[in-house]
Amino acid sequence: MNMRFFGQVPEGDVYEVVLENRRGMRASILTLGATLRNLQVPDAEGNLRDVVLGYDTAEEYYRGDCYLGATVGRFANRIGGAAFTLNGKEYRLTANEGKNQLHGGPDGFFRRLWTPIVKSGTEALFRLTSPDGDMGFPGQVETEVCYRLEGNALRISYRASCTEATPFSLTNHSYFNLAGHAAGPVDDHRLTVRADHYTPTDAEMIPTGEICPVEGTALDLRQPAALGTLWDHPELARTRGLDHNFVLQPGDGPAAVLSEPAGGLSLEVYTDRPAIQIYTAGFLAQAPGKEGAVYGPHHAVCLETQAFPDAVNHADFPSCLLQPGEIWASETVYRFEGAGIAKGRRAQMIYMKDI
């Protein structure tokens, strides 16, 4: 592992930590937002293919509002009305999407400087303290995010503890394009999701509280579907493609599989979280990216493992509360197959048994 200066933001210096393993995979993570900036996998010719979108400068990450590669929290996804009631007390959060809060607020974890800890050439740990009242949330939270390259996979492990009960859910907001970050639209990518149900939302993308079957809808992705067939589907017009929370079925297989047939690369996502938000970047504005790339709508797919959005306001959703004295721990594994990648063992995970 090596660490190098990447740039400056108002809070201080930003560093980039670079990991590499013997399988040829490389990853680089910024101390700003514990952000996955690069994820390179070998292609069929043995060249490294960077499969996540990103920027060239710290300033772009700091000012950007697309969360490219970031660790988002204190609560990933949306909290309706930027408010909730806990133990008889109402908490008002800092809103940043109309009257709602998205991904922990305007100064969420993605915009913080995390403390890096050197582990090895294939593993790096990042720590952050979120003070009591941060973006309106109760209690102080101590958080760790660990990135580790394992064979053909990137494992992201999360741990947290708190001083007061608080809603808590972290995710990684990487934008994946298996043809390469600069390859353009992902129309030919194929996606499978291990979900029989999803959580419908209102016009502001806040869950209605229902848990509905995917069968008979555009969200039935239990068999591989080409993403390009979804862009103009009438059911997905409001979200310009997918931007939906899928309720994961119990099981030891991948939560989602994304593949790019032309290049022969596939990505399997394993997680112990109860849900996954699939976002096909319909609202990604045309803008410059790293290495001269120009990004735009549908140029990538986000695979965000998470608690149910707005779970703190829905008693029928699985609990999202972190309690004092508890250690919150979760893992998500991104495992690659095909192209120039040598065969590796399947990801070893502990999976949820029910929702």
Distance, CA of 343 to CA of 196 (rounded, Å)? 30
To the query of whether residue 304 is one of the catalytic residues in this protein, the response is yes
Catalytic residue among 16, 123, 304, 331: 304
The secondary structure of the chain, three-state, reads CEEEEEEEECCEEEEEEEEECCCCCEEEEECECCEEEEEEEECCCCCEEECECCCCCHHHHHHCCCCCCCEECCECCEEHHHEEEECCEEEECCCCECCEEECCCCCCHHHCECEEEEEECCEEEEEEEECCCHHHCCCCEEEEEEEEEECCEEEEEEEEEECCCEECECEECCEECCCCCCCCCCCCCEEEECEEEECCECCCCCECCCCEECCCCCCCCCCCEEHHHCCCCHHHCCCCCCEEEEEECCCCCCCEEEEECCCCEEEEEEECCCEEEEECCCCCCCEECHHHCEECCCCCEEEEEECCCCHHHCCCCCCCEECCCCCEEEEEEEEEEECCCCCCCCCCCCCCCCC
- How far lies 352's CA from each of 187, 200, 248, 325, in Å? 32, 22, 9, 22
Catalytic residue among 173, 181, 244, 299, which? 173
173 in active site? yes
Catalytic residue list: 173, 304
